[in-house]
Amino acid sequence: MKKTIHLDKDLFKKVKSGEKKFEIRLGNKDIKEGDELIIIQRDDKGNPTKKKIIKKAGYMEYTKKLSYWANEDINKFGFKIIQLE
């Protein structure tokens, strides 16, 4: 199934170059292993651009033990770590 996600310019470039091979999302429980991910770049103001990359969602792991977001959101949603293939 096709799913769309957005990344800031710096992270988008790292995925495109192959340097970044995983993605951590807050929530996003609708993404499943094998899904086609359409990754759209956001500009500096957070608006989507026309630049996109297509990747396949690989192995995933769920956790609530990372501190990038507020504890309230972590406890509510958990994390999804997505391997990009």
> How far apart, in whole angstroms, are the C-alpha atoms of residue 5 and residue 67?
21
pLDDT at 26: 81
pLDDT at 7: 96
Domain ranges of the chain: 2-84
pLDDT level of residue 67 (50, 70, 90 thresholds): low
pLDDT at 25: 83
Higher pLDDT, 68 or 56: 56
pLDDT digits (tens, 9 = 90+) for 17-66: 999 988 888 877 789 999 999 999 999 999 999 999 999 999 887 776 66
Chain position carrying tokens 């929530």: 27
> How far apart, in whole angstroms, are the C-alpha atoms of residue 13 and residue 74?
27
pLDDT at 77: 86
**Please, which residues bridge with residue 8 across strands?**
42
- Contact between 65 and 80 under an 8 Å Cβ cutoff? The reply is no
pLDDT at 69: 78
Name the fold adopted by 2-84: 2.30.130
Q: What is the DSSP letter of 47?
A: -
Q: What is the pTM of this model?
A: 0.73
